[in-house]
Amino acid sequence: MLETSARLLALLTLLQTRREWSGAELADRLEITTRTVRRDVDKLRELGYPVGATVGVGGGYRLGAGAEMPPLLLDDQEVLAVALGLNEITTGSVADMAEASAGALTKLRQVMPSRLRHRLDSLSTDAVPREQRTSVSAEVLAEIATACHRTERLRFDYRKSNGEESRREVEPYRLVRSGLRWYLIGWDLAREDWRSFRVDRMEPKTPTGPRFTPRELPDGGATGLLTRSLGAVYRKASARVRIHAPLDQVATMVHDEWGTIEAGDEQSCELTLYSTSLSGIARWLHAFDADFTIVDPPALLDECRAVAGHHEKLAARYRRAAGEL
**Residues 81-106: tens digit of each pLDDT:** 777 677 666 555 666 666 677 777 77
Residues 288-299: what's their mean pLDDT? 94
Do residues 213 and 241 share a domain? Answer: no
Do residues 59 and 104 share a domain? Answer: no
Do residues 243 and 314 share a domain? Answer: yes
Our CA angle for 135, 141, 86, nearest 5°, is 70
Model confidence band, residue 201 (pLDDT cutoffs 50, 70, 90)? very high
Do residues 257 and 296 share a domain? Answer: yes
CATH number, domain with residue 268: 3.30.70.250
Q: What is the pLDDT of residue 290?
A: 93
Task: Determine, yes or no, domain membership for 9.
Answer: yes
What DSSP character marks residue 30?
H
At residue 233, φ and ψ (nearest 5 deg) are -65, -45
Count of domains for the chain: 4
Do residues 59 and 99 share a domain? Answer: no
Task: Determine, yes or no, domain membership for 51.
Answer: yes
Q: Which of 9-18, 167-176, 316-325 has the lowest mean pLDDT?
A: 9-18
How many Cβ atoms from other residues are within 10 Å of residue 129's Cβ?
10
Residues 14-29: what's their mean pLDDT? 84
pLDDT of 59 strictly over 80: no
What is the distance of C-alpha 159 from the center of its chain?
22
pLDDT of 212 strictly over 70: yes
pLDDT of 222 strictly over 90: no
CATH number, domain with residue 30: 1.10.10.10
Model confidence band, residue 171 (pLDDT cutoffs 50, 70, 90)? very high
> CA dihedral in degrees (283, 288, 292, 297; nearest 10)?
-40
Task: Determine, yes or no, domain membership for 147.
Answer: yes
161: containing domain: 138-218
Higher pLDDT, 308 or 69: 308
Model confidence band, residue 235 (pLDDT cutoffs 50, 70, 90)? confident
Task: Determine, yes or no, domain membership for 324.
Answer: no
Do residues 250 and 305 share a domain? Answer: yes
Do residues 244 and 202 share a domain? Answer: no
At residue 8, φ and ψ (nearest 5 deg) are -65, -40
**CA dihedral over 52, 56, 59, 61, signed as positive or negative:** positive
pLDDT of 270 strictly over 80: yes
Task: Determine, yes or no, domain membership for 70.
Answer: no
Do residues 212 and 146 share a domain? Answer: yes
Task: Determine, yes or no, domain membership for 224.
Answer: no
Model confidence band, residue 56 (pLDDT cutoffs 50, 70, 90)? low
pLDDT of 147 strictly over 60: yes
pLDDT, the chain, mean: 82
- Tell me the residue length of the chain: 325
- Specify which residues 174 forms β-bridges with: 185
Do residues 248 and 291 share a domain? Answer: yes
Model confidence band, residue 67 (pLDDT cutoffs 50, 70, 90)? very low
Do residues 207 and 146 share a domain? Answer: yes
Q: What is the pLDDT of residues 179-197, one digit of tens each?
A: 668 899 999 999 999 999 9
Model confidence band, residue 72 (pLDDT cutoffs 50, 70, 90)? low
pLDDT of 61 strictly over 50: yes
Do residues 55 and 81 share a domain? Answer: no
Three-state secondary structure call for residue 11: helix
